[in-house]
């Protein structure tokens, strides 16, 4: 690792969980690093850089325009603010006081998820009132139509592995229903891939993370209709001021988008398939461990490897195995969102064969060192794991449990 890691006592992390920002998101390519290197020593007019970014975003997504902000969570707050204020600078400066404005934001209950913070809180930051419709497992068009009456500023649609994956209104129908009432649709698609399809489905604005699928610098990208994007740009004079992106984040995001547009999708898919096969071979035959491929729940074009853990044979439950992998000089992170259901997920998109071998070795060592008392331990709630990690910071001896968010 670099001298920066050594200087600050930072552990090496092998992120086989995904592209979560909490684990460092994605590795950036040399092209992204070069873009950041080129802009850091120089001055630039941010308005000009945002204009260039808008052109790049439009070319990649098929949207009319785009803007870059601090992160996709910031993008939600900025889009909600834009829906309430439009291009009225007095209203921009008035937020989060929404007196005299439409302020209700419609959200399907199955989309009210926690990605590290509640989705609804991102809207409330701007002063909006979030109105949930349907139930946790079901939402119908008639419920959406009823909710669209009155002072509705926007409707928020979430595409994520966190959301309920069935029983919700599909995006195209959701957009068409909202458009009939003149209500803009904001799509939170932080980690998702097919942005042009979301624009084509009728979304007013689509938000995604530069550091996730595109493997860029940490930034939020908002793509959408030009008038709405301009209203988002206005928020830099209001609540969006605390969410702004710097020149280095913007340059890295733009380079990542250009790289994404030029990428050989078939070659990427072949590489992921080869690494999945390698992972299956390396982890095969471990007592108490059953392997299964899982397609990405929202439908992105890749699979993860499920590690089903039988504690009666393996000696550890899935949560304990995740803890063991995260301990030590090298922190191995597998996706631990479903340890209460007995499995971990291994994401091969950002790791190489050498790291896969290290992961397999650490899995075997962790299970070999299990004790008899480990077999019946309870799996704590994810929120409690997260709270313990927060309470322990900034102690250098961090808790062993990985904290999974988006």
List pLDDT tens digits, range 48-104: 999 999 999 999 999 999 999 999 999 999 999 999 999 999 999 999 999 999 999
Confidence of residue 399 (pLDDT cuts 50, 70, 90): very low
Confidence of residue 375 (pLDDT cuts 50, 70, 90): low
Which residue has better confidence, 355 or 402?
355
What does the buried/exposed string (b/e) look like for 193-206 if buried means 16 or more CB atoms within 10 Å of the residue's CB?
Answer: bbbebbbebbbbbb
pLDDT on residue 373: 58
Q: Indicate if the pLDDT at residue 241 is higher than 90.
A: yes
Confidence of residue 374 (pLDDT cuts 50, 70, 90): low
Contacts with 12 (C-beta within 8 Å, 6 or more apart), sequence order? 1, 5, 329, 330, 331
Which pair of structure tokens corresponds to residue 350? Answer: 């950002």
Fold of 3-22+265-392: 3.90.1150
| Interatomic CA distance for residues 322 and 333, integer angstroms | 7
Q: Indicate if the pLDDT at residue 400 is higher than 60.
A: no
Work out the percent of the chain whose per-residue pLDDT is above 70.
96
Q: What is the mean pLDDT of residues 150-177?
A: 95
pLDDT, averaged across the chain? 94
Contacts with 18 (C-beta within 8 Å, 6 or more apart), sequence order? 191, 335, 347, 349
> Do the domains at 3-22+265-392 and 43-262 have one common CATH topology?
no
pTM of the model: 0.92
pLDDT on residue 406: 52
Distances, alpha carbon 380 to alpha carbons 112, 272, 275, 406, in Å = 22, 32, 31, 19
Q: What is the mean pLDDT of residues 235-239?
A: 98
Q: Quick one: DSSP state of residue 103?
A: -
Least Cα distance to 235 among 67, 392, 110 occurs for 67
pLDDT on residue 150: 83
Least Cα distance to 81 among 241, 285, 265, 278 occurs for 241
Domain ranges of the chain: 3-22+265-392, 43-262
Strand order of the β-sheet with 289-295 is 289-295, 303-309, 343-346
Confidence of residue 403 (pLDDT cuts 50, 70, 90): very low
| Interatomic CA distance for residues 384 and 204, integer angstroms | 37
| Interatomic CA distance for residues 256 and 24, integer angstroms | 16
Confidence of residue 1 (pLDDT cuts 50, 70, 90): low
The domain 43-262 is classified under which CATH number: 3.40.50.970, 3.90.1170.50, 3.30.1370.60, 3.40.640.10? 3.40.640.10
| Interatomic CA distance for residues 324 and 333, integer angstroms | 10
Please report which residue ranges of 138-236 form alpha helices under DSSP H.
Answer: 141-147, 171-180, 195-200, 226-234
CA 346 to centroid of chain Cα atoms: 17
Q: What is the mean pLDDT of residues 195-204?
A: 98
């Amino acid at each position: 690792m670099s001298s920066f890691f050594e200087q600050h006592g930072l552990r090496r992390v092998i992120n086989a969980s995904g592209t979560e920002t909490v684990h460092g998101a994605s590795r950036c390519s040399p092209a992204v690093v070069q873009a950041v290197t080129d802009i850091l020593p120089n001055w630039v007019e941010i308005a000009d850089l945002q204009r260039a970014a808008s052109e790049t975003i439009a070319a990649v997504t098929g949207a009319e325009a785009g803007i870059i902000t601090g992160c996709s969570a910031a993008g939600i707050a900025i889009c909600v603010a834009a829906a309430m204020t439009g291009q009225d600078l007095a209203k921009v400066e008035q937020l989060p006081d929404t007196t005299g404005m439409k302020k209700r934001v419609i959200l399907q209950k199955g989309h009210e998820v926690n990605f590290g913070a509640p989705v609804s809180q991102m809207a409330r930051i701007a002063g909006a009132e979030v109105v949930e419709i349907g139930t946790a497992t079901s939402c119908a068009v008639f419920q959406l139509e009823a909710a669209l009456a009155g002072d509705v500023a926007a409707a928020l649609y979430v595409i994520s592995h966190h959301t309920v994956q069935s029983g919700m209104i599909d995006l195209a129908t959701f957009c068409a229903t909202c458009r009939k009432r003149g209500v803009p649709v904001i799509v939170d698609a932080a980690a998702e891939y097919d942005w042009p399809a979301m624009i084509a489905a009728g979304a007013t604005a689509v938000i995604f993370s530069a550091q996730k699928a595109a493997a860029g610098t940490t930034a939020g990208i908002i793509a959408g209709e030009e008038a709405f994007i301009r209203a988002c740009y206005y928020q830099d004079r209001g609540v969006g001021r605390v969410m702004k992106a710097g020149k280095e984040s913007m340059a890295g995001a733009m380079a990542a988008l250009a790289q994404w547009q030029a990428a050989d999708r078939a070659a990427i898919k072949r590489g992921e398939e080869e690494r999945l096969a390698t992972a299956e071979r390396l982890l095969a035959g471990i007592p108490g461990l059953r392997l299964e491929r899982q397609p990405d729940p929202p439908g992105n074009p890749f699979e993860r490897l499920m590690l089903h853990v039988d504690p009666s044979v393996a000696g550890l439950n899935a949560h304990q195995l995740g803890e063991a992998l995260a301990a030590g000089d090298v922190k191995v992170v597998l996706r631990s969102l479903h340890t209460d259901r007995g499995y971990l997920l291994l994401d091969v998109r950002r790791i190489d064969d050498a790291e896969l071998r290290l992961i397999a070795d650490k899995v075997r060592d962790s299970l070999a060192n299990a004790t008899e008392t480990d077999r019946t331990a309870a799996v704590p709630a994810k929120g409690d794991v997260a709270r313990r990690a927060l309470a322990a910071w900034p102690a250098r001896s961090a808790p062993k449990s990985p904290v999974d968010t988006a």
